[in-house]
Amino acid sequence: AGIPEVIDVEHYEFRNGGLVSNNNNANLVDKKNKGKSIQDGSFYDHLADEEVVMSTTHPWGFPSSSSKRSRRSSSRPFNRDASASSSRPRAAVEVVVSSAQANFLRDFKRFDTVDNFSQHHYASQGNASKQHSRTWVKKVQADWKILENDLPEAISVRACESRMDLMRAVIVGAEGTPYHDGLFFFDIHFPDTYPSVPPMVHYHSGGLRINPNLYNCGKVCLSLLGTWNGNAREQWLPQESTMLQLLVSIQALILNQKPGMINQKLLATFP
């Protein structure tokens, strides 16, 4: 059977660039909270466990510290240049990681809030003093809570405290896809009639068309957003659809192993 365009993360897991049916729900899904995935938190563990080279050179701007080593449990050690005066590891791209940097990555919050979004694509759509309905506020706060607790490891989201109608998400391309390790940014706006209508989503394309469903103008083509045809179950459902479902759908249905397979008509026009 084919994969529906609306992803129910209660039944599917996104793994290595493809959807895998999750019939036994083995530690992957919280059955009591539909649409919420459980993460194992191991994404950055290797950075905390590895032996890292401490250096006064800090490319990320962290405070300097004296050079020392910590434990490294890696099955793929770096190649070293015996003729070089330094014993620092070499690779195709040399990376110096301090313990402070490793801790930063380990403690990085996939969901957090920021003070403002002055560069947001939808910044001009409203202002901080605008009043919203109780239903609107309740739904947005519910989305925040779901995202805070259940975002997949490859998706990070920032909401704005002063502008609850704005949100930004970044999706890391999955292994096994043409988008592996790429960063794909999406600006999100909750209109006044949300959740009766879906959010507005703008993709930061950089002027490039890398997917039939992602236009270089920033349009995201997906039935869940109402920007592509689909049956009733593939459309935005005000009482059921969530931001988590939308982001996972973009990850699984657009940034996947075979871009454009969900929208064959668009694929025919893709250069």
Q: Which residues are catalytic?
A: 221
The 3-class secondary structure across the chain, one letter per residue, is CCCCCCCCCCCEEEECCEEEECCCCCCCECCCCCCCECCCCCCCHHHHHCCCECCCCCCCCCCCCCCCECCCCCCCCCECCCCCCCCCCECCCCCCCCHHHHHHHHHCCCEEEECCCCCCCCHHHCCCCCCCCHHHHHHHHHHHHHHHHHCCCCEEEEEECCCCCEEEEEEECCCCCCCCCCEEEEEEECCCCCCCCCCEEEECCCCCCCECCECCCCEECCHHHCCCCCCHHHCCCCCCCCHHHHHHHHHHHCCCCCCCCCCHHHHHHCC
